Structure 1
Amino acid sequence: MIDTDTLKKNYEFKNVLSKGKFFSGDYINIYIRQNHRRKNYIGIAVGVKIAKATKRNRLKRLIRENYRLLESNIKKGNDIVFLWKKSKKVEDANFNYIKMDMIKIFTKANLLKEDDIER
């Protein structure tokens, strides 16, 4: 991730979740808040209702990799928190489904620089 750092502290997550704008997709929910800096900060949260840590970590890797691929097309200067929807099963998680979901959400949030993203 070139121009991206991660949100690590609890207060950073709470700040984005309480003051950020909410966008919902089929698989993930995203909270976005402007940070007025030159790079994006992302955080990924998957609830413990997904019992196995290996499944939670797989979801985080899928989200992180999809973000990495889309990163060059996303406007800078935002804090972004990704939340996995509790209603979706991990077995339904597919790399392409998550990618399409992210493109749809970032388009809705008006964060994409270009419309010619590889779908």
Structure 2
Amino acid sequence: METHSLKRYTFRKRERLRLRRDISLVFRYGKAIQSEEFVVLYRKNGLDYSRLAIIVKRKFGKANRRNKLRRWIRECFRLNKDSIPKGFDIIVIARKALSEKFEKSNYEVVCKALLGNFERLIDAESNTGNH
């Protein structure tokens, strides 16, 4: 298999939203998309790729549940980069409703819910760009 095609499936360090000032900018000036499972905050970053941060509060459950959800969200982001809009700083926050049904959920359910929010992000940005 060609290594070039594998590179798009990586989750690189540059694609992680890590700095406090960048995260604060998203909270302060970003827009939100809410669903039953997630709140997705986003803001344009002026780069040719998107960066991701994940927030799962302690109320979600024990550390192994929180870490499992983080892994699933990262994996969903990594495998679906083509359908996620480029040039955004994105913060994904898990909601309580997801924690209540997390034991019955699997990766596919969580990823589908997250991708639905990313589709709404694309729609929201395409609508604001026309005005």
TM category (shorter chain) comes to 0.7 to 0.9
Contact (CA 8 Å) 1:45, 1:82: kept in 2 or not?
yes
Q: Which amino acid aligns with 1:98?
A: V
State the distance in 2 between where 1:58 and 1:32 align. 23
Q: After superposition, where does 1:43-54 map in structure 2 within 5 Å?
A: 43-54=53-64
Aligned pairs, how many? Answer: 111
Alignment deviations for residues 71-90 of structure 1 (CA, whole Å, 9 cap, x no partner): 12222111000000023223
- 5+ unaligned residues in a row in structure 2: which ranges? 1-9, 124-131
Contact (CA 8 Å) 1:39, 1:77: kept in 2 or not?
yes
Cross-structure match for 2:111: 99
Contact (CA 8 Å) 2:33, 2:40: kept in 1 or not?
yes
Q: After superposition, where does 1:1-119 map in structure 2 within 5 Å?
A: 1=10, 5-89=15-99, 90-110=102-122
State the Cα RMSD in Å: 1.9
State the distance in 2 between where 1:75 and 1:11 align. 22
Cross-structure match for 1:116: none
Greater strand percent: which structure? 1
Alignment deviations for residues 24-79 of structure 1 (CA, whole Å, 9 cap, x no partner): 12311101100111111110010011341111100100111111111122221110
- 5+ unaligned residues in a row in structure 1: which ranges? 112-119
State the distance in 1 between where 2:33 and 2:49 align. 20
State the distance in 2 between where 1:51 and 1:26 align. 17
Greater helix percent: which structure? 2
State the distance in 2 between where 1:5 and 1:22 align. 20
Other structure's SS at 2:119 match: helix
